[in-house]
Amino acid sequence: MKKIKINDDLIKIVISTILFFCAIFVSNNTLKLTFLILSYIIISYELYIKAIKNLLNKELFDENFLMILATIGAFYIQEYKEAVLVILLFQIGEYLSDLAVNNSKKTITNLLDLRSEETNIIVKEEIIKIETKKVKIGDIFIVKPGEKVPLDGIIISGKTSFDTSSLTGESVPKILSENENILSGYVNLDSVVKVKATKTYETSTASKIIELIENSNEKKAKTEKFITKFSKIYTPVVVLIALLIITIPTLIGLSFDEWLYKGLVFLVMSCPCALVISVPLSFFLGIGRASKEGILVKGSNELEKLQNIETICFDKTGTITEGVFEVQRVTPIGIKKEELLELVAYAEYYSNHPIAKALKKDYPKNVDKKNISNFKEISGKGISATVKNDKILVGNAKLLEDKNIEISKSTQVGTIIYIAKNQKYIGNILIADTIKEESKQIVEALNKEGIKNIVMLSGDDETTVKDIAKKTNILKYYAKLLPTDKVEIVKQLSENNLLAFVGDGINDAPVIKLADIGISMGKVGSDAAIEASDIVLMHDNLNKIPIAIKISRYTKKVMKFNIVFALLTKLIVLILGVFGITSIWMAVFADVGVTLIAVLNTLSILKKKLY
């Protein structure tokens, strides 16, 4: 059982409660009143301070002001016990609500406690513990079993398994060894590994994730904005109605004290506490739940929009497919195979594209950089470079066609790379990519969520894209696209519906930014794609998209229940108050109860089984 944390608020509540019960059980009226006044001062003085501060900031109509107004009215009509009980119940409710909210926020913070403040770096073969903020790119550090990885890096020695669940939501440990990348926030489970830092504390994956979550509340959803506006209009209107409840009956000769009491009941019950607390908390917990699943949502606006997505566009390479290419066939024309591979390896030397890596991997010798000049990457087409004084073009058919070079197009299924030397076509290379396992189920999973319009976009040739679309049951696809073509297609597809685009590469950044919801791959995705996106899939698992949609919809469902429940309950109690069936303290109890039920219901977002 968790211990209750004793703080100033709890101490004030306990002392005030003791004094209140002392007042009930003593018979001396003077002593009774003294106990009640002391109880009232102890429990309410902070409300007065807050109300005065709000008054100075021109924010008059908040719950502090309403409670003070109600209790002053109760004192006026000599309902001293009720005056104290109103504030006491209100403060108990506030304390319990804050406790629930703070505990939920602490849960999220613990889930995202990814950073390690200290790092064991190696200096002159000695291990020195220093602040992680002081570690530079290129420094060598070790990670012992049980420790968090403090910085992104590459393993230079050792092999171990890592718990990646904090980042990716995946429960199965990941085994990594030499020359493999690790991310800050991973937890080493088995053996010591030596790592070379590739990012600083500020630019590490863990820091970026925490920054995203901390800033997520800045981008408010429409529901949040509506509740804020609603509260600003609602509270003054209710105060006005309360005044009318008091004044109109009094003007026609009815008892002032009786109708003042009814007006105060109405006033107290009007506090929109449940709405003001539960709506932002719902979004915060929804974002936290998504983070727990390895899905980073950058704001409540994005979480709310996700539930209404009608169209999802997928980039092909690195998203639907693994993005890991292998050379399947080399077709030289008027040149030896080894010479063709050499020219391609030299031309692609400075490129980090997955296709370039596959082409370079097939050339076994070292590349002499002195023989490379005029390197140029042509977006969506390929590479142009000068190799040993020969102008080499390596890319898709469009690259060579634009230079008026005749080619014989291949009909093989896969990515065909065409090569030209000094304006002459000298052959092609067939490269094949592997379809991700989850890509074969993603269409069915999204269909279950009501998303029928699924599209694949690719710069690859028609034959390859058609083959992958068929294998993944994607009915609509576009091939031979440049980055600008993707932008135009996304514009067209999103004209009459909400559209999400899923991509991984730097070429996808403009489209990710343009889409209503941009989703990027966090594991292999480029920094540009991650920066531009609204949602980041930390494990590059497409199955996380339906889960994100479920979280979004459940969060909205919880909010709707809270809003309807709060307003309906308040309406019933308000009506009962006007007819004199309820009292001020019962109105406060109802308000506090509604708020607590709303908060507890909101906490289910973290626990609800969604799949």
What residues are annotated to the active site?
Answer: 315
The count of other CB atoms within 10 Å of the CB of residue 495 is 7
From 69, 63, 67, 75, select the one nearest 36 (Cα to Cα).
75
- Residue 313 in tokens: 């566009």
Cβ-contact 141, 152 below 8 angstroms: no
What is the sign, positive or negative, of the torsion defined by CA atoms of 41, 43, 48, 50? Answer: positive
From the centroid of its chain, how far is CA 6? 33
Taking alpha carbons only, the member of 101, 100, 61, 66 closest to residue 86 is: 66
What is the rounded CA–CA span in Å between residue 442 and residue 382? 30
Is beta strand 517-521 parallel, antiparallel or unpaired with respect to 535-537?
Answer: parallel
Backbone phi and psi for residue 171, each to the nearest 5 degrees, phi listed first: -85, -20
CA-to-CA distance for 535 and 296, rounded, in angstroms? 5
Q: What are phi and psi of 87, to 5 degrees?
A: -65, -40
What span, in angstroms and rounded, lies between the C-alpha atoms of 292 and 309? Answer: 22
Kind of pairing, strands 453-457 and 476-478?
parallel
Q: Are 555 and 607 in contact (CB under 8 A)?
A: no
Query: At 142, phi and psi to the nearest 5?
Result: -115, 150
Cβ contacts of 1 within 8 Å, gap of 6 or more: none
Tokens 């050339």: give the residue: 363
Nearest to 399 by CA among 418, 385, 386, 416: 418
Task: Decide if 186 contacts 147 (C-beta within 8 A).
Answer: no
Structure tokens that stand for 333 in this block = 């024309």
d(CA 82, CA 585): 6
Count of other CB atoms within 10 angstroms of residue 78: 10
What 3-state DSSP class applies to 172?
coil
Non-local (6+) Cβ contacts of 226 within 8 A are none
Relative orientation angle of helices 80-111 and 8-25, to the nearest 10 degrees: 160
Q: How far apart are CA 197 and CA 407, in angstroms?
A: 46
* Percent helix / strand / coil, the chain, rounded to 5: 55, 20, 30
297 class by beta-carbon count within 10 Å (0-12 exposed, 13-18 middle, 19+ buried):
buried
Question: Token pair 């926020």 is at which residue?
Answer: 105
